[in-house]
Amino acid sequence: MMIRVSIHIIVGVLIGIPLLLYPILYFFQEKLLFPLTGASTQVLQWARQTWPQSEMWLTTPDGVLLQGWYVKPNRVDKFPLLIYFGGNAEESTGFLIYRNYFSAWGILAMNYRGYGLSGGNPGEQQLFADARFLYDHFANQPEVDSHHIVAMGRSLGSGVAVYLASQRKLAGVILVSPYDSITAVAQEFYPYVPVPWLLKHPFDSLSLAPQINIPVLGLIAENDVLISPERSKTLLSAWKGPSRWVLIPNTNHIDIPEGKYYWESIQEFLAQLLNER
């Protein structure tokens, strides 16, 4: 009798836990995938003082106000443009601390919907639509060299950059800690959960990579436990155009920009694109 009761309890737990877990993962996945990050008053003040003419406010076609930064280089002729898409908990102003690594380039770093001072709510299709909108707006600015626009995406933003490369003409793409799909990443964390059935924002970069025939640079943290190096290599191996990846030693998902070869690889990649004019 005790054995039978114990079996009933075990079966009940095995059935009950998924029934509780699945709705939580489904209904709260936006909070997990998009942990909205506000603007730091101190960082905002620094950016506004350093680049007083560079803060941008743009209204999307569906009426959402986006905020971010459009920093121009000190040159009078047309300049190449780098469009930056950050990680899932990243407010775009912080990227400007790396401005000196892109001295010849303009930088566009707009906050996702709901991030920083941007309005609205993020989602896969919303981020994709905003990426197209931003490209179309700035590629038509008279000071921008539209033949040399590069998308740089980090972590979550790598999926946005890959999508943009599949939709618009880019000179190249830089992907930091990229994934083949959010579905695959989530499945690694929840191996017994039917992730494809529950995930509303798959960010399936792998399905797009074989169509994209432009150079890509992938930067992979050696000790990344959030997006495993295997996920990154799977994506980069499927890329149609010239593909190169660099393993950044002794770094993880957070500190990869501080690692050896990181900035040298980016600057070499960008210089090579400019030399191909």
Q: What is the mean pLDDT of residues 229-247?
A: 98
| pLDDT band at 8; cut points 50, 70, 90 | very low
> Which of these, 180, 136, 185, 147, lies nearest to 162 by C-alpha position?
180
Give the model's pLDDT for residue 28. Answer: 72
pLDDT tens for each residue of 121-149: 999 999 999 999 999 999 999 999 999 99
**With 60 as the cut, is the pLDDT of residue 9 above it?**
no
**With 90 as the cut, is the pLDDT of residue 23 above it?**
no
Q: What is the mean pLDDT of residues 66-90?
A: 95
**With 80 as the cut, is the pLDDT of residue 108 above it?**
yes
Give the model's pLDDT for residue 10. Answer: 39
Give the model's pLDDT for residue 50. Answer: 97
Give the model's pLDDT for residue 253. Answer: 97
* R_g (Cα) of the chain, nearest Å: 21
Give the model's pLDDT for residue 17. Answer: 47
Q: What is the mean pLDDT of residues 181-187?
A: 95
